[in-house]
Structures are given as C-alpha cells and as structure tokens.
Amino acid sequence: MRALLPLLLLALVVLVGGCDGTTDDDLDPQLVVSASLGVGEALPPVALSEVAPLLDVFDPADMAVSGATVTVTLLAADGSDEAVYPYAEAEAGTYVPLDGTVTVLPQRTYRLDVQARDRLTATTTTPPAVELVQGPPGEVVYGAGQGPEVVITRSTTAERRAAFIASTRALAPAAFEPVGVDGDTLYRSVPDPETFLPVPIVRRFLDCEEEAGGTLLCDEDPSDDDFTTGTSPIINEASYIERADGTLLVQVPFIGFTFYGPYAVRLISVDAALEAFVESQAVQGGGSTLSPGEIPNLVTNVEGGLGVFGSYALVEVRTTLREPSF
C-alpha cells in the first residue's frame, strides 16, 4: 500500500481543479495533504504540497510546503485527545513522526492537524485488522472463474460495509531489451525459462507480436513497473461473499494480473476516505461515461484544504498464474 499512496497523491495534485473551471489567473494555490495509516504498522509520513497551475508539469520538489506544524492524534471514545504524536520535517514537504515505534491500532479514530499558511484537519477511523483464513490455490489458471479466491476475517463494522483494493505484483516478469526495427525502437523479450510473459490484454495494449521461438516484440517495454504491478477497482459488498461462519470470500479480479507466473497479492481493506477518493479518481481518469462538464471533483475528507487522510488494513498472499491450455 505504501507504493500505491504516492500515486494517489500525484493523481490528486494533478487532477484536482481540472473539472471545476479554474484558470491560471484565478487558481487558489490550496494546500494538499496525503497520509494513510496502516493497521499494525508504524505511523506513516505526511506529504504536504500545494496545487500546481493547471497546465504546469507537477514537480513534487517545486510544490512541496515546508515549515508546517504536523500532528496525528489518537482520539478516545468520547472524542477527546488520548495521545498526540508530533511530526518533524524530514525533507521538503515530507513530515515523519518523532516516535517511530508507535503502532496504528485497529478500529480507532485518528485526527490529522496541519498548521501551515492555512490550517488543515481530517479524521479517519481505521478498519479492523484483516487476518487470512484461507489463501488462494497455489496455481490459478488465467481466465478461469472471476479470479483467485481469498477467505479473510470480517472487516465490516457497525458503521460501514467493508471495501477492498487488490494490489498485485509479478515476481518473475520477463525482461525486455530495446531493439531497432525499421528506424523505431521496439522491445523484445529476453528468453529465460525462469521468467514469464505478459497476459493477452497487456500484449494487445502494448501492440505485441509473437515471434518465432516464443519471444514477444512490443511497442513499449512491458517490464516497466507500471505493467508488472496492478491495482483492482474497489471491491465492495456486491463483489465479495459473506459466509455463514462470519468470514468473507473475496475474489481478486484478473484485471489486476499482467504477467503469468508467481505473484504477491495484497488484499487491502480501506476506510471510507480512501474508498471515496479511489472511486472519484477512477471517474476523473476516464472510468465513466460522463462528459467532461459532468465529472465531479475528487472527493476529499480534508477540511481547510485538499487531499486524503485515510487508513487501511491488509493481508498478503502468494499464488501463481498459469497460462490456459487450449
């Protein structure tokens, strides 16, 4: 999840305001904050920046905001402050807790306070810890069923139903090397019996052609990190099964798998703030049939600025994706 969060922040800074009619002349350089608490993990860093002009290339170093006062507070059941954790600036725009030993607790409410030129505040209630009851089969055939099945402990609470994101990482993707073809640079897979080639949807997306000997020749490099990792859309109660014993059966959709071979799969239970942010980000990125004038702004739970202060709990499993035999 740590790797996912910088992408969420970058999407927020780039996309926010993109559909609200602002121009460079009337742009309000609002502050943007990003942090997500992982249950059972140490308190996370807090990233603080400001919105870039609409047509400018976003450079995190240029837009970072320094000199802020940052705290994360654990709230008691009555809403009072139970424990306050101060932060210090580690580098421009990045703040870290002074006490790196503090562990995030499940089903507790935390408040983020940032004092810069404006005051920002937000709260999150962490989901229950997620425990693995039954992992997926050791091998799964690509396209057979809806995806690998994982059984976990219930992460639904009295306040809201559980929502998940599946994050996948190919552990043995094939390497590709640049080759010149008719004056263009293409990418050919490096023959290696220990690695695995991309699945059909990635081959089509990158316009790959299968060559004699089983190698692939593609327009872009499939071994780039953008293609060796995947993230599913939100998996909500319409997609998972609540079993009679109180556990949840979650199917990790095949859309998150980009290569055949072994995988690390993280099933991430997200709080309401992250769920809303990811869903609105999908709409901003073209994941709907809305016309540009109808696309709503990104959802933020930050008061006094923009961004997301969320929380999650996760479990990681391993499986191997096999090519179907026809």
Q: What is the pLDDT of residues 251-283, one digit of tens each?
A: 999 999 999 999 999 999 999 999 988 887 655
CB atoms within 10 A of CB 76: 12
Domain co-membership, 104 together with 205: no
pLDDT at site 174: 96
pLDDT at site 299: 76
The CA radius of gyration of the chain, in Å to the nearest whole number, is 22
Chain centroid to CA 33: 16
Q: Is there a domain that residue 153 lies in?
A: yes
Q: What 3-state DSSP class applies to 210? A: strand
Residues 29 and 116 in one domain: yes
pLDDT tens for the chain, 326 residues long, are 444 444 454 444 444 444 444 444 555 678 999 999 999 999 999 999 988 666 566 566 778 999 999 999 999 999 999 999 999 999 999 999 999 999 999 999 999 999 998 999 999 999 999 999 999 999 999 999 889 999 999 877 767 788 999 999 999 999 999 999 888 999 999 999 999 999 999 999 999 999 998 899 999 999 988 889 988 889 988 889 999 998 999 999 999 999 999 999 999 999 999 998 888 765 554 444 444 444 445 678 999 999 999 999 999 999 999 999 86
How many Å apart are CA 230 and CA 22, to the nearest integer?
33
**Residue 215 falls inside a structural domain:** yes
pTM: 0.82
Identify whether residues 141 and 247 lie together within a single domain: yes
**Could you tell me if 289 and 189 lie in one domain?**
no
Kindly state whether residue 324 falls inside one of the protein's structural domains.
no
Asked whether the beta carbons of 265 and 318 are under 8 A apart, the reply is yes
Query: Please, is 128 exposed, middle or buried when counting C-beta atoms within 10 Å of its C-beta (0-12, 13-18, 19+)?
Result: middle
User: Is the residue at 325 inside a domain?
Assistant: no
326 in any annotated domain: no
* pLDDT computed for residue 262 by the predictor: 98
- Residues 311 and 37: beta-carbon distance below 8 Å: yes
Q: Which residues contact 208 (CB under 8 A, 6 or more apart)?
A: 198, 202, 216, 217, 218, 219, 222
Residues 166 and 235 both lie in one domain: yes
Same domain, 142 and 251: yes
Q: 49 is in which domain, residue-wise?
A: 4-127+270-312
Enclosing H/E stretch for 232: none
Q: In this predicted structure, what is the pLDDT of residue 124?
A: 96
- State residue 54's pLDDT score: 60
pLDDT for 239 = 87
Percentage helix, strand, coil, to 5, in the chain? 15, 40, 45
Q: Are residues 216 and 234 in the same domain?
A: no
Residues 192 and 303 in one domain: no
- Nearest of 202, 228, 197 to residue 214 by alpha carbon: 197
In whole angstroms, give the CA distance from residue 230 to residue 173: 13
How many domains are there within the chain?
A: 3
On whether both 115 and 55 belong to a single domain, the answer is yes
CA distances, 100 to each of 85, 103, 128 (Å): 10, 8, 22
